[in-house]
C-alpha cells in the first residue's frame, strides 16, 4: 500500500503541475485518468478494519494478500482440558504418580507433601505452581492433606538453609518437614532408603539428574528446640496432562476442507510438544508471508477454540474489501469523462476528493455482504459512464461550445456526490449509520457549494443542466452495476 500511495501522490503532482507549467494544456487528462481509479482504491485499502471480537484478535492489518492459504495457530488452542499429575522419586527411582500409593514406606513422604503444601505455594519462584495447582497434583497422588493436618497439628514455621518448612506434632514429639528445589538434596545428611541412613557421595551423584522444577522433601526431628539431622525423603515433579480439544480439531478440519492449510506456531516449543504428545500432526509454521494468525484474547475455560470463525470473518471482510476497491475505482474512473468538458483540473479533483472523503468517514462501519463480483457487472457500467458525457459534449451545443458554461464542473462534482451518497446509504441502517450518512451529505453539500462559489461568469442554466446530467450519469452507472449483480455473495 505505501507504493500505491506514492504513485497516487506522483499522479496528483502531475495533475496539479501540468496546468501551472503549461497553461491551457490538456495533458493533465492523462495522469488524471490513472489517478481517478487509484485514489479511491487506496482509500478503501486504508480503511481496512481489524477484527473486532471479544474472543479473537488477528494480524490482518499486516496482511497484504486479499486471500489466504495458510493459518497458523498457537498450539495452546488445541488444549481442551488441562490437569496436573506428578512423578515421584522414592528416593532415587522415578515412578508415575498413579503407582505412588502402591509403594511401601510412603507415609513419611505423604506427610511431607501434605504438611508443606502451603510452604510450596509460598515459594512460587521455585515451584512455578499456585496453591490450587499444588492441591490438584497432591490429590492425584491419593494424599489426603486434610487428614495429615488433623493428625499432625502445626506448631510453628521453620526454615533450613533458606528452605521453608513447618514444625508439627508427631505423636508426643515434634518433627519438621521442609520443601524446596533440587538443591535441597545437597543440604541433607541422611536419606530415607527403606530406612534412614547416612547419605553417601554416590547417593548425591544419583540425585544430580533431578529435574530443575522438582520439589524435594526432607524431614528432621526437633529435640529440645534444636533441629536434628535432616533426612531426604524424595522428590515430586508436577506434570501437566492435556486432552486435545474436539472443537479445535473440527475447526482445523473445516479449514482443510476449504483448501486452507493449518500450521502450528513455534514460539512456545513446550506447547508445541504437548500438541505432538496429544497426537496432532499438523505441520509447524514455516515462516511464509501473508499467513493469517488468529490470536486468542483470553486463554481460559471460556475461550472458544473454533479458530476457523475469525478466519471465515477475515475472508469475508477481504472479499468485501476487494469488492469495494473495484467498485470505488469504477466510480472514480467515471469522474474522468465528465472532467473532459473543462480545461482545468480543479473540478475533477474536487469531485474525486468528495468521493475519497466519503470512503474514509465510513471506515469504522461494516458494509453489508456485497453481491458477487463479476467482470460484466463492472465493465458494462463503463458504457453509460463514458457515452453520456460524450452525448453532452457533442450534441448539447449550449454546453459544448459556449466558453464558461461550466457544465462539466457541475457534472463532475454532482456525479461524485451521488456515488458517495449511494455507497454511504448502504450503512444507513447500522448503529451511528445515519450520523455517518449525515456527515457524508454535509461533505457533498460543501463540495457543491464550493464548486458554485468558485465558478467564474457562471451560466446558471447550463450549470444546472450539468448538475442534473451528472446525477443521471451516476444513477445510470449504479443501476447498471446493481442490475448485473443480483446475487449476494455467500459469506460462509
Q: pTM here?
A: 0.66
Res 459 pLDDT > 70: no
8-state DSSP, 216: E
Beta-carbon count within 10 A of 266 CB: 14
Res 457 pLDDT > 80: no
Beta-carbon count within 10 A of 171 CB: 8
Q: What is the pLDDT of residues 350-401, one digit of tens each?
A: 999 999 999 999 888 888 888 877 888 899 999 988 888 877 766 555 444 4
Q: What is the pLDDT of residues 169-205, one digit of tens each?
A: 998 899 999 999 888 999 999 999 988 999 998 999 8
Q: What is the pLDDT of residues 302-324, one digit of tens each?
A: 778 888 888 888 888 888 888 89
Instruction: Specify the pLDDT at position 150.
Output: 92
Instruction: Specify the pLDDT at position 166.
Output: 95
8-state DSSP, 183: G
Instruction: Specify the pLDDT at position 128.
Output: 59
* Residue 273, C-alpha cell as written in the block: 510438544
Of the given ranges (232-236, 305-309, 459-463), which has the lowest mean pLDDT? 459-463
State the alpha helices, DSSP H only, in 230-345: 246-257, 269-277, 308-339
* Residue 234, C-alpha cell as written in the block: 524424595
As a whole number, mean pLDDT of residues 63-83 equals 81
Q: For residue 235, what pLDDT band results from cuts at 50, 70 and 90?
A: very high
Res 446 pLDDT > 70: yes
Res 402 pLDDT > 60: no
Q: For residue 405, what pLDDT band results from cuts at 50, 70 and 90?
A: low
Beta bridge partners of 195: 193
16-37 in b/e form (b: 16+ CB < 10 A) is: eebbeeeeeeeebbebbebbbb
Q: For residue 50, what pLDDT band results from cuts at 50, 70 and 90?
A: low
Q: For residue 53, what pLDDT band results from cuts at 50, 70 and 90?
A: low
Of the given ranges (158-172, 283-297, 399-413), which has the lowest mean pLDDT? 399-413
Res 410 pLDDT > 70: yes
Instruction: Specify the pLDDT at position 232.
Output: 96
As a whole number, mean pLDDT of residues 205-217 equals 89
Residue 418 to residues 95, 106, 180, 245, 299: CA-CA distances in angstroms? 78, 85, 75, 52, 47
Instruction: Specify the pLDDT at position 492.
Output: 47
Cβ pair 370, 317 in contact under 8 A: no
Instruction: Specify the pLDDT at position 409.
Output: 81
Q: What's the mean pLDDT when you consider all of the chain?
A: 85
Amino acid at each position: 500500500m505505501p507504493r500505491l500511495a506514492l504513485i497516487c501522490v506522483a499522479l496528483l503532482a502531475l495533475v496539479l503541475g501540468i496546468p501551472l507549467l503549461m497553461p491551457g494544456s490538456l495533458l493533465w487528462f492523462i495522469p488524471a485518468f490513472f489517478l481517478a481509479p487509484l485514489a479511491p482504491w487506496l482509500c478503501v485499502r486504508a480503511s481496512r478494519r481489524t477484527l473486532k471480537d471479544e474472543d479473537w484478535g488477528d494480524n490482518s492489518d499486516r496482511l497484504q494478500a486479499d486471500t489466504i492459504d495458510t493459518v497458523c495457530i498457537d498450539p495452546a488452542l488445541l488444549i481442551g482440558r488441562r490437569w496436573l499429575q506428578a512423578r515421584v522419586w522414592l528416593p532415587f527411582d522415578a515412578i508415575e504418580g498413579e503407582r505412588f500409593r502402591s509403594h511401601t514406606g510412603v507415609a513419611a513422604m505423604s506427610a511431607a507433601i501434605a504438611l508443606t503444601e502451603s510452604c510450596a505455594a509460598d515459594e512460587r519462584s521455585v515451584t512455578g505452581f499456585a496453591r490450587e495447582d499444588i492441591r490438584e497434583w497432591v490429590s492425584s497422588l491419593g494424599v489426603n492433606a486434610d487428614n495429615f493436618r488433623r493428625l499432625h497439628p502445626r506448631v510453628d514455621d521453620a526454615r533450613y538453609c533458606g528452605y521453608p518448612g513447618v514444625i508439627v506434632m508427631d505423636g508426643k514429639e515434634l518433627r519438621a518437614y521442609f520443601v524446596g528445589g533440587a538443591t535441597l538434596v545437597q543440604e541433607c545428611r541422611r536419606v530415607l532408603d527403606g530406612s534412614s541412613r547416612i547419605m553417601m557421595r554416590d547417593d548425591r551423584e544419583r540425585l544430580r539428574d533431578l529435574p530443575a522444577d522438582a520439589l524435594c522433601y526432607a524431614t528432621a526431628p526437633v529435640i529440645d528446640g534444636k533441629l536434628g539431622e535432616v533426612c531426604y525423603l524424595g522428590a515430586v515433579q508436577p506434570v501437566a496432562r492435556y486432552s486435545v480439544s474436539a472443537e479445535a480439531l473440527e475447526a482445523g478440519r473445516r479449514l482443510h476442507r476449504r483448501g486452507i492449510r493449518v500450521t502450528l506456531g513455534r514460539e512456545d516449543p513446550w506447547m508445541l510438544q504437548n500438541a505432538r504428545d496429544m497426537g496432532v500432526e499438523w505441520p509447524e509454521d514455516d515462516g511464509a508471508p501473508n499467513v493469517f494468525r488468529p490470536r486468542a484474547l483470553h486463554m481460559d475455560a471460556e475461550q472458544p477454540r473454533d479458530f476457523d470463525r475469525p478466519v471465515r470473518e477475515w475472508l469475508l471482510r477481504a472479499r468485501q474489501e476487494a469488492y469495494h476497491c473495484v467498485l470505488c475505482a469504477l466510480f472514480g474512473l467515471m469522474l474522468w469523462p465528465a472532467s473532459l468538458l473543462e480545461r482545468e483540473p480543479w473540478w475533477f479533483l474536487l469531485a474525486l476528493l468528495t468521493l475519497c472523503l466519503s470512503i474514509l468517514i465510513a471506515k469504522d462501519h461494516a458494509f453489508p455482504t456485497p453481491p458477487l463480483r463479476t467482470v460484466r457487472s463492472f465493465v458494462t457500467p463503463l458504457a453509460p459512464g463514458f457515452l453520456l458525457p460524450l452525448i453532452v459534449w457533442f450534441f448539447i451545443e449550449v454546453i459544448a461550445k459556449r466558453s464558461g458554461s461550466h457544465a462539466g464542473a457541475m457534472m463532475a462534482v454532482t456525479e461524485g456526490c451521488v456515488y458517495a451518497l449511494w455507497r454511504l446509504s448502504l450503512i444507513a441502517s447500522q448503529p451511528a449509520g445515519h450520523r455517518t450518512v449525515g456527515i457524508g451529505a454535509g461533505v457533498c453539500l460543501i463540495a457543491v457549494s464550493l464548486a458554485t462559489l468558485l465558478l467564474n461568469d457562471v451560466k446558471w442554466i447550463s450549470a444546472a443542466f450539468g448538475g442534473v446530467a451528472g446525477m443521471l450519469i451516476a444513477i445510470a452507472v449504479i443501476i447498471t452495476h446493481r442490475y448485473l449483480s443480483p446475487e449476494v455473495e455467500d459469506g460462509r
